[in-house]
């Protein structure tokens, strides 16, 4: 290649735009997404994120009953079936972690569908995330959970390492039209595409961080296009909400948009909310390929339904993968009854306690052990708000009582004793359906790290297997975090209390038993007010009835925001939690109701 050809190639690369549509945020997302993106937007790639810890356990259970199962069947039976002819005709490539614990089974099912439709496609499979074979040795070596410190359970349903983007990039480079993976980090399905298209290398850390951010923005589907936005009333046409499309450039910057004619809104504030969603420390968001620093990211509205994002920084990754294992810890059952009338809240609580007392008495007579855990809450009485509840005199509520037990037999007894409450105790007891609840396996998560050198990644394409080489040494060195800059609160003698909602946007989520709440100032000049009001101590006090661990606060000056990390906040989190909000989705909304003191001069603007 001549010097002029090299220069022209570089110019072409810089002007190149890759358009990626995000068609799924979880297994269970809407069936309309894939067709909407393929027929309504000029995309080059369609990416899907299906996997969560509970999903992996469900898939493991499915495969134990039927060997060819263990993958996200919706990907083949619904999403691909609706668009396969169109993506083949237009040359759209697909990347999905729909493989779950059986990527080959997923690929075989998709290949059969393509053959049935008379379509020829190259399907690649990424394998190696399943590390369950290593568990006996790890248990013998004393492996502990990275959060709780508990020992590795004796019986594990699934154990999968979160792989990165390099295997996906290699599969695309080898000519794959569709890449199916097992467990990988959610953003990797996008980063792998960008590494392939722009030739980004494994040590281009700034670009990898930018590509990871692009993937993070669209990995939850409509959360980037107005879904879950604080100002929800300003987001039109929920029924036809558009799924996200990102227009990516070689320098790592990208535009977030959506198909024309769809509902929802692509707003800078909503994109900022999504950036903070479930990231922990924004200066060190750890992924398999890169450690990301999002503190100085800029998010700018560039017209209707167009938001530009740039400014991510990157550092070398660690030398290990995070592994998520799932295990069964007995059984769970939950029963509900509706209570109507004066003192409904008190009557509901007494009903739940009576059910527990009666069933414990039956257990003692039969020689059965007690519940391993029990929980009574009253839906409609703002139980999650604790001391901040305003509905103590609610006249229409639902009693919910949740129990765990090592024996299914005991929970069958519990289920039988729910309905008698309708004729035995509180007046006004009723319910839309009085059938007995059923017990289900209680699946819990166990997390740890595993050296990358202990994980062998393989790529299957055209019947041939090839090894995927990834850097093993990591190299990440934590740096000292600078102290938060001092912001004068500018509070004069005359102040007014307003809800935080008037000053900020917020979105919350979970990482196991940790809740994160991202809070973004509506105007840059409001950030000093947030600094003064939302101290870690103040946030901890506000959530004292729910949060039993430390509260940490991280500044993101680029978007005038804070990210809060609340430890031991979700009653174990995920499937372990007995609360109605096990994923912390409502905690941001609760924080927005917190009273904040502001100068009268600012209060007049609100």
The whole-number average pLDDT for the span 181-185 is: 97
- Provide the 10 A C-beta neighbour count for residue 387: 7
CA terminus-to-terminus distance, the chain: 61
The whole-number average pLDDT for the span 259-279 is: 97
Rg (CA), the chain: 26
Flag whether pLDDT at 350 surpasses 90. Answer: yes
Q: Which of 225-229, 389-393, 592-596 has the lowest mean pLDDT?
A: 389-393
CATH of the domain at 413: 3.30.300
The whole-number average pLDDT for the span 532-554 is: 97
The whole-number average pLDDT for the span 220-242 is: 98
Count of domains in the chain? 3
Q: What is the pLDDT of residues 194-214, one digit of tens each?
A: 999 999 999 999 999 999 999
Of the three residues 317, 350, 365, the one that is the final residue of a domain is 317
Q: Are 303 and 213 in the same domain?
A: yes
d(CA 389, CA 384): 8
Which residue do the tokens 């039927």 mark? 66
Q: Which of 53-57, 112-116, 416-420, 485-489 has the lowest mean pLDDT?
A: 485-489
pLDDT at position 491, please? Answer: 60
d(CA 376, CA 268): 40
d(CA 408, CA 368): 11
Flag whether pLDDT at 482 surpasses 60. Answer: no
Q: Under 8 Å CB-to-CB from 296, ≥6 apart: which residues?
A: 311, 313, 556, 557, 558
CA separation, residue 440 to residues 106, 150, 373, 406, 575 (Å) = 26, 23, 15, 11, 11
Q: Are 196 and 299 in the same domain?
A: yes
According to DSSP, the residues that pair with 394 across neighbouring strands are none
Flag whether pLDDT at 86 surpasses 60. Answer: yes
The closest of 257, 252, 315, 248 to 285, measured between CA atoms, is 315
For residue 16, being part of any structural domain is answered with yes
Q: Are 281 and 384 in the same domain?
A: no
Flag whether pLDDT at 483 surpasses 60. Answer: no
* Domain of residue 375, residue span: 329-444
d(CA 495, CA 595): 12
Q: Are 57 and 14 in the same domain?
A: yes
Q: Which helix (H) or strand (E) holds 330?
A: strand 320-340
pLDDT at position 5, please? Answer: 47
For residue 486, being part of any structural domain is answered with no
**Strand 178-181 versus strand 93-96 pairing type:** parallel
For residue 142, being part of any structural domain is answered with no
Q: Are 310 and 334 in the same domain?
A: no
d(CA 435, CA 416): 9
């Amino acid at each position: 290649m001549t010097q002029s050809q090299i220069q022209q190639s570089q110019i072409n690369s810089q002007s190149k735009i890759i358009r990626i549509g995000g068609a799924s945020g979880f297994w269970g997302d809407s069936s309309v997404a894939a067709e909407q993106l393929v027929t309504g937007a000029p995309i080059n790639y369609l990416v899907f994120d299906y996997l969560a810890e509970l999903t992996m356990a469900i898939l493991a259970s499915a495969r134990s009953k039927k060997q060819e199962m263990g993958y996200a069947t919706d990907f083949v039976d619904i999403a691909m079936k609706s668009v396969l002819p169109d993506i083949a005709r237009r040359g759209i490539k697909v990347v999905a972690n729909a493989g779950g614990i059986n990527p080959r089974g997923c690929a075989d099912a998709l290949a059969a569908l393509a053959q049935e439709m008379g379509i020829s496609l190259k399907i690649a499979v990424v394998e190696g995330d399943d590390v369950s074979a290593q568990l006996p040795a790890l248990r013998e070596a004393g492996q502990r959970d990275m959060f709780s410190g508990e020992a590795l359970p004796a019986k594990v349903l699934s154990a999968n390492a979160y792989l990165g983007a390099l295997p996906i990039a290699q599969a695309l480079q080898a000519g794959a039209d569709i890449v199916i993976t097992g467990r990988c980090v959610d953003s990797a399905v996008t980063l792998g595409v960008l590494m392939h298209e722009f030739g980004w290398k494994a040590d281009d850390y700034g670009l990898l961080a930018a590509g990871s951010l692009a993937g993070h923005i669209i990995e939850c589907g409509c959360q980037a296009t107005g879904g879950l936005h604080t100002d929800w009333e300003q987001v039109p046409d929920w029924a036809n909400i558009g799924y996200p499309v990102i227009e990516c450039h070689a320098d790592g910057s990208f535009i977030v948009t959506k198909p024309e004619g769809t509902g929802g809104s692509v707003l800078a504030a909503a994109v900022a909310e999504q950036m903070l969603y479930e990231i922990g420390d924004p200066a060190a968001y750890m992924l398999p390929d890169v450690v990301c620093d999002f503190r100085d990211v800029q998010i700018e509205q560039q017209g209707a339904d167009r938001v530009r994002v740039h400014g991510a920084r990157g550092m070398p990754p660690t030398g290990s993968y995070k592994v998520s294992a799932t295990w069964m810890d007995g059984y769970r059952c939950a029963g509900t009854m509706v209570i109507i009338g004066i003192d409904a809240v008190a009557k509901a609580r007494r009903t739940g306690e009576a059910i527990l007392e009666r069933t414990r008495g039956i257990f003692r007579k039969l020689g059965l052990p007690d519940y391993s855990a029990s929980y009574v809450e009253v839906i409609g009485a703002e139980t999650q708000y604790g001391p901040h509840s305003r509905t103590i005199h609610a006249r229409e509520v639902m009693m919910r009582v949740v129990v765990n037990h090592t024996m299914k037999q005991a929970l069958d007894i519990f289920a039988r004793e729910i309905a008698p409450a309708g004729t035995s105790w509180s007046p006004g007891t009723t319910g839309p359906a009085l059938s007995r609840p059923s017990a289900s396996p209680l699946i819990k998560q166990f997390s740890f790290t595993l050296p990358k050198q202990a994980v062998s990644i393989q790529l299957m394409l055209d019947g041939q297997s090839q090894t995927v080489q990834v850097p093993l040494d990591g190299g990440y060195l934590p740096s000292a975090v600078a102290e938060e800059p001092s912001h004068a609160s500018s509070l004069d003698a005359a102040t007014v209390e307003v809800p935080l909602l008037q000053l900020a946007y917020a979105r919350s989520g979970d990482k196991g038993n940790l809740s994160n709440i991202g809070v973004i100032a509506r105007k840059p000049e409001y950030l000093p007010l947030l600094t003064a009001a939302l101290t870690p101590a103040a946030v901890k006090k506000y959530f004292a009835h729910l949060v039993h661990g430390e509260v940490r606060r991280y500044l993101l000056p680029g978007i005038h925001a804070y990210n809060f990390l609340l430890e031991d906040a979700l009653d174990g989190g995920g499937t372990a939690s007995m609360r109605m909000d096990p994923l912390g989705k409502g905690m941001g909304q609760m924080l927005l109701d917190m009273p904040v003191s502001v100068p009268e001069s600012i209060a007049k603007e609100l």
